[in-house]
Amino acid sequence: MSTKTSRFLAVAATSLALSLGIAHAAQPDAPMGGPGGAGGWHGHFMKELSQLHSQLNLNADQEKQWQSALDTMKQTHEAERANHEQMKQQFKAMQQQPILDLNALHAAHQKVEQQDAQLREQSANAWLAFYNGLNDQQKTTVSTALKQRFAMMEQRHEKMRERWEQHRGAAPGGASTLKP
């Protein structure tokens, strides 16, 4: 398998994990923050997750892998949140010093980044184990859902790019600030 193909598969698996993870975070026992409050985008992701789950018609072993992947992802999310809070507290403590120790701050940041990368890898591996246990029809269902998610992400990205270009190109009085 080429490096480009394996990189694409890793991105796809991570996207699946993130999409499913955000949806999982929207479950009733999870805190409901973020845009739109209780119903906002969390509800949308939960609906997508439920639809995908029901379309897959999982057998008992596949259902165990699904639940294992969800649990791993939930633990990953909680650990990343704790890492972020720890980093925030360290930074607050460092701010009390008359001279910031940027080396210590950088080292702490690198440590958290490495821990978070390991956690994300565990979550991606759990989702890949789930995906690898699916039959071709189920993989097609997941692939279709991912392709739709990728297309939606690309549309959002394009809209943001257009807005940025409009914002960058617009000057007071309608004159462009861009030089030819």
40 CB-near residues (< 8 Å, 6+ apart):
34
- Predicted confidence (pLDDT) per residue in 69-86, tens digit: 989 988 999 999 999 999
Please give the pLDDT value at position 9. 52
Cα radius of gyration (the chain): 21
CB 147 within 8 Å of CB 29: no
Please give the pLDDT value at position 49. 72
CB 141 within 8 Å of CB 52: yes
116 CB-near residues (< 8 Å, 6+ apart):
80, 83
Looking at residue 2, its amino acid is S
**Helical ranges in the chain per DSSP H:** 3-25, 41-56, 60-95, 102-132, 136-169
Please give the pLDDT value at position 74. 85
What is the rounded CA–CA span in Å between residue 27 and residue 46?
Answer: 7
Tens-digit pLDDT string for the chain (180 aa) = 555 555 555 555 555 555 444 444 433 344 434 444 445 555 566 678 778 888 999 999 999 999 999 899 889 999 999 999 999 999 999 899 999 999 998 999 999 999 999 999 999 999 999 999 999 999 999 999 989 989 999 999 999 999 999 988 865 555 545 555
Residues facing residue 176 across a β-bridge: 170
What are the Cα distances from residue 122, in Å, to 49, 71, 132, 160, 171? 20, 11, 15, 31, 48
Tokens of 71: 């649990």
**Spatial CA neighbour of 72 closest among 26, 110, 128:** 128
CB 147 within 8 Å of CB 12: no
Please give the pLDDT value at position 149. 86
Let me know if 38 is exposed, middle or buried by CB neighbors in 10 A (0-12, 13-18, 19+). exposed
